Structure formats: C-alpha cells, structure tokens
Amino acid sequence: MAETEKAPENETPPAPASGGKKLLPILLVVAGGLIFGGASGFFMVGPAIAKKVAPSAAAAGKEAAKEEAAAATESGGEGGGEGAKVFLLDNMVLNPAGSSGQRFLLVSIAIRPKDSAVEAELKARDAEVRDALLRVLGSKHVEELSDVTQRDRIKEELRVALEAIMKPGTVMGLYFPQFVIQ
C-alpha cells in the first residue's frame, strides 16, 4: 500500500502544471481576439457609422439654414436692401490644408446680398462664387477652422474674396448655418 500512496503523490503535482500550460494558449487566443475585434471595429465599423451620421447632421444644418434665411429676409437684416434674400451655398465639402485628405470640412454659407440684383448675379455666377469660397477655405488648416474665435476673420476673408469677383460693397453679411469638421 505504500506504493499506492506514493503513486498518487507523484501524479498530483503534474496535473495542475499541465492544466496551467493548457490555459495560457487559450487566454492568449481570447486576448488576441479581443484586441483584433476592437481594432477592426475602431478602424472599419467606426468610419461607416460616422458616414451615416454625417448626412443626418447635414439635413439638420440645411433646415437651420432655411430658417435663418427666412428670418433674415423677413426682418430686412443688417442693411439688407430692397427685399434681397439670403443666397445659400449648401453642402460644400473640401479638404483643409495640411490634412492630406484625411480630414474634411462640410460647410454651408449663407450670403446676404446688398439687393436683389446682386442676388441674381450670385445665382448667375454660382460656380465662380463657390470656387472663390472653396479656395479661401481650402487654404485654412484644421486648427484655424476649428477655432471658433477665428470664424469672424474667416468670414471677412470670404467677403473680400467675393467682392473681388463681384463689386465692393455688394455683400452685406456671411453666415455659417452648417460648419462640420471631420
């Protein structure tokens, strides 16, 4: 019987050691799976979800722009002349300077013309107006665009660019009803 007692003592210590060796690869596989799943979710699923959210934000911005334009037209606005309406350039998308195409700006710009003749000219020269505005905004870095304290300076630069292709004094105000940086 002494030999039977010694045999279980010899078998008992190897059992936990072999169980521990089997547990380590399983833990490594589970940890690796969690890391891989989290990374793939972050880099693949996240941007897909963001693309679905951006159009709904654009729709909300479009509604706000229409409401602001209607309110500005009704009130006559700051120096708005003879029934001039706000001219809306909706959903312009561009890559800011230095972003290497990794970031983008989605912006809508409402322009308050001096009078209805200027509004008609804005409509007739829509492509030229958009190009001038995109050129100015595209020269800005993400840091400048995201700094709210710089918005008035950017609006002034946009007004100057517009009046360079139109006539001085034709733009009474600029507004950003939608300004989204991704």
Closest Cα to residue 177, out of 91, 105, 104? 91
Residue ranges of domains in the chain, CATH in brackets: 58-181 (3.30.479.30)
Assessment of whether the complete model's pTM goes beyond 0.85: no
Instruction: In whole angstroms, give the CA distance from residue 115 to residue 166.
Output: 13
Long-range contacts of 98-105 (CB under 8 A, 24+ apart): 98/141, 98/142, 99/141, 99/142, 103/142, 103/181, 103/182, 104/181, 104/182, 105/137, 105/145, 105/179, 105/180, 105/181, 105/182
Query: What is the pLDDT, as a whole number, of residue 153?
Result: 95
Point out the residues of the chain with pLDDT beneath 70: 1-20, 45-84
Structure confidence at residue 150 (pLDDT): 93
Q: What is the pLDDT of residue 77?
A: 44
